[in-house]
Amino acid sequence: MPSNEDFIVLGHEAVGQIENPGTTKLSKGDPTVPLVRHPDECVDYRSGQLDMCIEGNYRECGIKGAHGFLCEYLIQDGCAVS
């Protein structure tokens, strides 16, 4: 569950399309797969393995410390849902 929350939005994996690309190189309508695991600084992260953290210092959308993707829209900055 996310800190300071008494609920969690489920949905561990997702596929979608870009609605508002903001300042990215993506375009509206481009397919996308949001990042599921967000590691904190650890040895694996520092070595370039962005989806690993043997030390257990990570948030995983819909499972550990972050909301999941079971929503109509989401903002991929961490695991914020809107």
* pLDDT value for 29: 93
pLDDT in tens, 20-75: 888 888 899 999 888 888 777 777 777 877 677 777 778 888 888 888 888 888 77
List the chain domain ranges: 1-17+29-75
Tell me what pLDDT residue 82 has.
Answer: 40
Q: What's residue 28's pLDDT?
A: 92
pTM above 0.75, yes or no: no
What backbone torsions phi and psi does residue 45 show, to the nearest 5 degrees? -60, -45
Q: CATH fold of 1-17+29-75, please?
A: Quinone Oxidoreductase; Chain A, domain 1 (3.90.180)
pLDDT value of position 77: 59
20: CB partners within 8 A, 6+ apart? 28
